[in-house]
C-alpha cells in the first residue's frame, strides 16, 4: 500500500473540490472536515467524504444554532452545507489497494491498517489546512480536521494547532482540567461525582462516567447498591452494578429486590442480567417457575453469552450450563430465548482462548438455541491457531446438524475461519 500516494491524492482532490465550492460562493469557510469514513472490521475501510461550511450557511441552515462546543451542530460535518463523497478515479484505484491491504490477513492486521489509515487522513487534513491558511476565502481561525465518532475531539485535536484548538473548543481544556481535579479527591467523592454525571452529555459525559464506575467497581459498587436499593427502578444503577462484577450479599439483595418489586421493565431486565453477570443462577432458576418471572430468569441465564459481557470488569467464564438447565426445566422458555434474548443478529460475546472448549461442547448441546449461539460465537478470527483448529473440527461436524440454522451458521463460521 502506497500510503504517501493516498495522502497526496486526498489532499489534491480535496483542494480541487474546495476551489470549486469557493468559486461558487461558499466563502468564507470556517472549517473543512474529512468525515463519514465507514469502517467495519475485515469488511470495509471506507475513504472519507469531504465537507465544508461557512457561518452564513450555518445560520441559514440552522436558525437559532448555539455554541455547544465540539458536539454542537457547528462542528458536525453531517449538518454542513457542502458535503461530497469521494469521486475521483485516482482515489478509486487507491481505495482498491487499501481494501486489498486491509482484508484477508486477520483482525489484528486490519486494526493495524486502520490505525495507519487514520494517521494518513489526519496528515492530509494538516496539509490541506496549511495550503489554505493564508487564503482570503477562509476565516482567520479556519481549521481542517478528521471527524470520527470513535475518535471524537481527540482525533480532531491531532490536526489542529493546540492554541487554536483550545480557542475554538475551550470546553475541552476545561474538561481535562476538571478530570484531573476530580482525580485528586478522596475516592468516595470521585464516585459521587461520576454518579452525578450519568445523565450528562457534555464535558465528562455519561459514557465516560459509566466507564469510570465500571473500572472502579470495588469503590463504586457500594454506592451503586445503595442507589438501587433506594430507587429499584434505576436501570443504570442495575446495569452498572452488574458490570462491576462485585458480588456481595448487599448487591445481590438490591438486584433481587429490583427484579421482583420494581415497576420499570428496563430496570428489572438489567437487574436480571446483572444477577447473571454475578453468577446468581440458582436463585434465577428457582424464580423461573413463578408467574411473570420466566423471561427475566432467561435474561439472567443468557447474560454471559451476550455482547455486553465484553464491557464488564470481571466477566465470568462462558458457561452454557445455566441456560441448558433452564431449558430442560422450563421448555416453554425456548421461544423467548431463541426469538428474543439470543435472536440471530443480536450478536454474541467475544470468546477467549480458554472458552473455546466450552463453546465447542455447546455445539453438541441437546438444545438448538445453545448450538446456534455456539456456531455463531466460534466465528472469531481472533482465535489463535490451536483454538481455531479446535473450532474448525467442531464446526465441520456441526454442518450436519439436524437444525438447519445451526448447520448454516456452522458452514459460515467454518468458511470465515478458513480464510
Flag whether pLDDT at 149 surpasses 90.
no
- The torsion angles phi and psi of 399, rounded to 5 degrees, stand at -65, -20
CA distance 364 to 343: 19
C-alpha cell at 40: 467495519
CA distance 340 to 100: 37
Flag whether pLDDT at 184 surpasses 90.
yes
CA distance 73 to 331: 51
Question: Which string of DSSP letters, residue by residue, matches 378-412?
Answer: T--TTS-HHHHHHHHHHHHHHTT-SSHHHHHHHHH
pLDDT in tens, 332-378: 999 999 999 999 888 889 999 999 999 999 999 999 999 999 999 99
2, 93 contact by CB (below 8 A) = no
pLDDT in tens, 273-316: 999 999 999 999 999 999 999 999 999 999 999 999 999 999 99
Rounded to 5°, angle at Cα 329 from 345 and 364: 55
162 CB-contact burial (10 Å; exposed 0-12 / middle 13-18 / buried 19+): exposed
Instruction: Return the pLDDT at 124.
Output: 98
Instruction: Return the pLDDT at 370.
Output: 97
CA distance 123 to 9: 12
Instruction: Return the pLDDT at 75.
Output: 98
Strands 138-146 and 49-54: unpaired
Instruction: Return the pLDDT at 117.
Output: 98
Instruction: Return the pLDDT at 168.
Output: 97
| Nearest one of 299, 363, 305 to 333, comparing CA atoms | 299
CA distance 194 to 174: 16
Flag whether pLDDT at 186 surpasses 90.
yes
379, β-bridge pairs: none
Dmax (CA) of the chain: 76
CA distance 31 to 144: 6
pLDDT in tens, 204-230: 999 999 999 999 999 999 999 999 999
397, 378 contact by CB (below 8 A) = no
| Nearest one of 106, 128, 110, 166 to 31, comparing CA atoms | 128
Instruction: Return the pLDDT at 43.
Output: 87
Average pLDDT over residues 13-31: 96
pLDDT band at 150 (very low <50, low <70, confident <90, very high): confident
Average pLDDT, the chain: 96
Instruction: Return the pLDDT at 346.
Output: 82
Average pLDDT over residues 58-63: 98
pLDDT in tens, 45-56: 999 999 999 999
Q: Does the N-terminal peptide bond of residue 330 adopt cis geometry, omega within 30 degrees of 0?
A: no
The three-state secondary structure class of 144 is: strand
Q: What residues contact residue 293 under an 8 Å CB cut-off, 6+ apart?
A: 259, 260, 287
Helices assigned H by DSSP within 47-106: 55-61, 89-102
| Nearest one of 171, 218, 170 to 190, comparing CA atoms | 218
Instruction: Return the pLDDT at 347.
Output: 82
Instruction: Return the pLDDT at 202.
Output: 85
CA distance 366 to 324: 8
Percent of the chain with pLDDT over 90: 95
pLDDT band at 262 (very low <50, low <70, confident <90, very high): very high
- Helix 170-183 vs helix 187-196: angle between axes, to the nearest 10 degrees? 140
pLDDT in tens, 385-403: 999 999 999 999 999 999 9
Considering the entire predicted model, what is its pTM?
A: 0.81
Percent of the chain with pLDDT over 70: 100
12 CB-contact burial (10 Å; exposed 0-12 / middle 13-18 / buried 19+): middle
CA distance 351 to 239: 21
Rounded (to 5) percent helix, strand, coil in the chain: 65, 5, 30
Q: How far is CA 266 from the centre of its chain?
A: 20
- Cell 457500594, residue? 222
CA distance 223 to 325: 33
CA distance 316 to 219: 20
144, β-bridge pairs: 32
Flag whether pLDDT at 419 surpasses 90.
no
Amino acid at each position: 500500500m502506497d500510503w504517501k500516494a493516498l495522502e497526496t491524492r486526498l489532499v489534491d482532490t480535496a483542494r480541487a473540490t474546495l476551489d470549486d465550492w469557493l468559486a461558487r460562493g461558499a466563502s468564507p469557510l470556517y472549517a473543512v472536515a474529512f468525515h463519514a469514513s465507514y469502517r467495519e472490521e475485515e469488511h470495509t475501510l471506507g475513504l472519507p467524504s469531504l465537507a465544508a461550511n461557512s457561518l452564513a450557511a450555518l445560520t441559514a441552515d440552522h436558525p437559532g444554532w448555539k455554541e455547544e462546543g465540539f458536539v454542537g451542530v457547528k462542528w458536525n460535518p453531517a449538518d454542513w452545507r457542502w458535503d461530497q463523497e469521494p469521486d475521483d478515479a485516482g482515489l478509486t484505484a487507491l481505495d482498491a489497494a487499501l481494501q486489498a491491504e486491509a482484508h484477508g490477513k486477520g483482525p489484528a492486521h486490519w486494526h493495524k491498517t486502520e490505525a495507519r489509515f487514520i494517521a494518513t487522513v489526519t496528515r492530509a487534513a494538516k496539509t490541506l489546512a496549511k495550503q489554505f491558511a493564508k487564503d482570503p476565502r477562509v476565516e482567520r481561525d479556519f481549521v481542517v480536521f478528521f471527524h470520527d465518532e470513535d475518535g471524537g475531539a481527540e482525533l480532531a485535536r491531532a490536526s489542529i494547532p493546540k492554541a487554536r484548538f483550545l480557542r475554538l473548543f475551550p470546553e475541552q481544556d476545561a474538561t481535562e482540567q476538571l478530570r484531573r481535579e476530580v482525580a485528586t479527591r478522596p475516592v468516595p467523592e470521585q464516585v459521587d461525582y461520576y454518579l452525578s454525571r450519568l445523565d450528562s452529555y457534555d464535558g465528562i459525559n455519561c459514557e465516560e462516567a459509566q466507564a469510570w464506575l465500571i473500572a472502579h467497581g470495588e469503590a463504586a459498587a457500594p454506592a451503586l447498591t445503595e442507589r438501587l436499593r433506594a430507587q429499584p427502578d434505576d436501570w443504570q444503577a442495575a446495569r452498572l452494578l452488574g458490570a462491576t462484577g462485585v458480588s456481595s450479599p448487599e448487591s445481590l439483595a438490591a438486584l433481587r429486590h429490583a427484579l421482583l418489586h420494581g415497576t420499570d421493565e428496563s430496570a428489572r431486565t438489567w437487574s436480571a442480567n446483572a444477577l447473571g453477570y454475578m453468577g446468581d443462577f440458582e436463585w434465577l432458576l428457582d424464580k423461573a417457575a413463578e408467574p411473570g418471572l420466566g423471561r427475566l430468569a432467561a435474561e439472567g441465564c443468557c447474560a454471559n453469552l451476550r455482547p455486553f459481557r465484553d464491557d464488564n470488569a470481571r466477566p465470568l467464564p462462558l458457561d452454557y450450563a445455566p441456560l441448558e438447565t433452564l431449558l430442560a426445566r422450563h421448555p416453554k422458555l425456548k421461544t423467548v430465548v431463541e426469538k428474543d434474548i439470543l435472536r440471530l443478529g443480536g450478536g454474541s460475546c467475544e470468546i477467549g482462548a480458554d472458552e473455546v472448549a466450552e463453546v465447542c461442547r455447546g455445539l453438541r448441546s441437546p438444545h438448538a438455541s445453545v448450538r446456534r449461539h455456539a456456531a455463531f460465537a466460534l466465528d472469531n478470527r481472533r482465535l489463535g491457531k490451536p483454538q481455531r483448529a479446535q473450532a474448525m473440527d467442531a464446526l465441520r461436524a456441526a454442518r450436519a446438524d439436524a437444525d438447519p440454522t445451526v448447520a448454516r451458521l456452522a458452514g459460515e463460521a467454518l468458511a470465515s475461519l478458513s480464510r
